[in-house]
Amino acid sequence: MDGATAALQLLGDPETKDIKMVFLTSIGDPQAEMEEMHRKISAEFGVQGYLRKTDDLDTLSEKIKRIPSVREKPLILVVDDEQDLREIMSIKLNTSGFESIVAGDAKEAVAAAKKMQPDLILMDIHMPGESGTDAALEIKQDPETKNIKIAFLSNLKDPWPQTTPDRSDLAKALGMEDFIDKTGDLDATVAKVREILARI
């Protein structure tokens, strides 16, 4: 029996369905396409992601620490200064199998991250006062919250006008998970959330 079949059996058994699982693989193809395929497979099977057998013990330990905490549903923190948008996003997440909490500015976001330890933060970039970029960096620099996954949100094509890299690449260069366009396609946003949560 292969690992994928065993995972499906465990996830389908009421006595073992809540156990957190990851795929362990010896495939170490560095190509982004291969990594993306593995992540999608992990999300499809309902496991938390995958680890490479070739990683050293320190790397494996750090990745294991990033596995979402044992909750009935993943907790998502939505940070946006626009009340209507964060409420719509929160409702969509709640009806898509997640739990959500909201914050209206950077200060509230940092406090909620420390108190609630969400599995993922969706962080608006441009907000009054401290920016979402600064708040995200503050969260990542705090030992208590550094392992929380963060994805930037924006409806701007060029949210960082002084830079030239791809928005997703720049978000990852800053230590975040990804960049998500703030559009009306909430289904696409939910799909991206699922994909990010499957990563380790």
Whether residue 30 sits in one domain with residue 87: no
3-state secondary structure of 166: coil
Whether residue 86 sits in one domain with residue 61: no
Whether residue 84 sits in one domain with residue 137: yes
Give pLDDT, residue 161: 47
Distance CA 161, CA 3 (A): 46
59 within some domain: yes
Give pLDDT, residue 30: 42
pLDDT in tens, 124-150: 988 888 889 999 999 999 988 888 999
To 5 degrees, how large is the angle CA 197–CA 71–CA 83?
65
Give pLDDT, residue 150: 92
Number of domains present in the structure of the chain: 2
- How crowded is residue 3: how many other Cβ atoms within 10 Å of its Cβ? 14
- The single-letter DSSP state of residue 69 is P
Give pLDDT, residue 69: 57
List b or e across 46-85, with b for residues whose CB sees 16 or more CB atoms inside 10 angstroms: ebbbbbbeeeeeeebeebeeebbeeeeebbbbbbbbeeeb
Task: Report the CATH number that the domain containing residue 148 is assigned in CATH.
Answer: 3.40.50.2300
149 within some domain: yes
Whether residue 155 sits in one domain with residue 133: yes
Whether residue 52 sits in one domain with residue 112: no
Its pTM stands at 0.65
Q: How do the pLDDT tens digits run along the chain, 200 residues long?
A: 777 778 778 877 888 776 777 777 776 554 454 556 556 656 666 666 667 777 777 777 766 666 655 567 899 999 999 999 999 999 999 999 999 999 999 999 999 999 888 999 999 988 888 889 999 999 999 988 888 999 998 876 554 445 555 667 778 878 888 888 887 789 989 999 998 888 76
Give pLDDT, residue 108: 95
The residue out of 65, 93, 118 marking a domain boundary is 65
**Residues spanned by the domain of 27:** 3-65
Give pLDDT, residue 62: 66
Give pLDDT, residue 119: 92
